[in-house]
């Protein structure tokens, strides 16, 4: 099990997803990684990053927003590195309001594995955080009225449960 530097266990909870949706998320992550690595590992990473290199990386926002999908990013790391293959130094919970430049997630991991996971992690977190941020703006826009913001069926195939989660 992954731990913080203080030895506190970190388990990606993905609060709000059912057990079946969590399994669906894991399957989606596997498909995304398979697609990304269809032609093999990134040759630039293999050519320039020593196999034994370890690094610390931070995922930070470019603009203010609402975090979503942070625990899914950890599931990507679980898939690539195994649950014991990285250390979470810091993370925010989904639903956290963030300022520009604020860190969502900071981990220490083998550099090649982290670079392998990076694109899938960023794609999920950016997409879901964008939905959470837009939803928060809509909710704020109708605050004080009797209007309610509702979800829609206009979602991407295979991503509906995650888009509604965000």
pLDDT tens digits, one per residue of 118-158: 999 999 999 999 989 988 898 889 999 989 887 777 766 66
Enter the tokens of residue 147.
Answer: 């209007």
- pTM value is 0.83
The arrangement of secondary structure in 19-165, i.e. its CATH architecture, is Alpha-Beta Complex (3.90)
111-141 and 70-81 helices, crossing angle to 10°: 160
DSSP 4: -
Cα(77)–Cα(90) distance, integer angstroms: 15
Q: How confident is the model at residue 96 (pLDDT cuts 50, 70, 90)?
A: very high
Domain ranges of the chain: 19-165
Specify the pLDDT at position 18.
78
CA 148 to chain CA centroid, nearest Å: 28
Residues 6 or more apart in contact with residue 108 via CB below 8 angstroms = 54, 55, 56, 57, 86, 87, 89
Share of the chain above pLDDT 70, in %: 85
Tell me the Ramachandran region of residue 108: left when phi exceeds 0, alpha when psi lies from -120 to 50, beta otherwise: beta
State how far the Cα of 93 lies from the Cα of 73, in Å rounded to an integer.
12
For residue 24, give the nearest of 131, 126, 159, 164 by alpha carbon: 159
Q: Could you tell me which of 43, 9, 22 has the C-alpha nearest to residue 115? A: 43
> Given the structure tokens 């530097």, which residue do they identify?
5
3-state secondary structure of 110: strand
């Amino acid at each position: 099990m992954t731990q913080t530097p203080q030895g506190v266990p970190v388990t990606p909870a993905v609060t709000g997803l059912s057990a079946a949706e969590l399994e669906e998320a894991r399957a989606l992550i596997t498909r995304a990684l398979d697609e990304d690595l269809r032609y093999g590992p990134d040759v630039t990473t293999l050519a320039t990053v020593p196999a034994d290199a370890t690094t610390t990386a931070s995922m930070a926002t470019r603009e203010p927003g609402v975090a979503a999908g942070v625990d899914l990013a950890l599931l990507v790391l679980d898939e690539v590195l195994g649950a014991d293959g990285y250390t979470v130094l810091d993370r925010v919970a989904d639903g956290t309001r963030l300022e520009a430049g604020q860190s969502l997630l900071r981990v220490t991991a083998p550099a090649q594995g982290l670079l392998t996971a990076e694109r899938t992690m960023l794609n999920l977190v950016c997409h879901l955080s964008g939905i959470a941020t837009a939803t928060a703006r809509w909710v704020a826009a109708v605050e004080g009225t009797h209007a309610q913001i509702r979800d829609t069926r206009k979602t991407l195939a295979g991503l509906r449960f995650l888009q509604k989660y965000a």
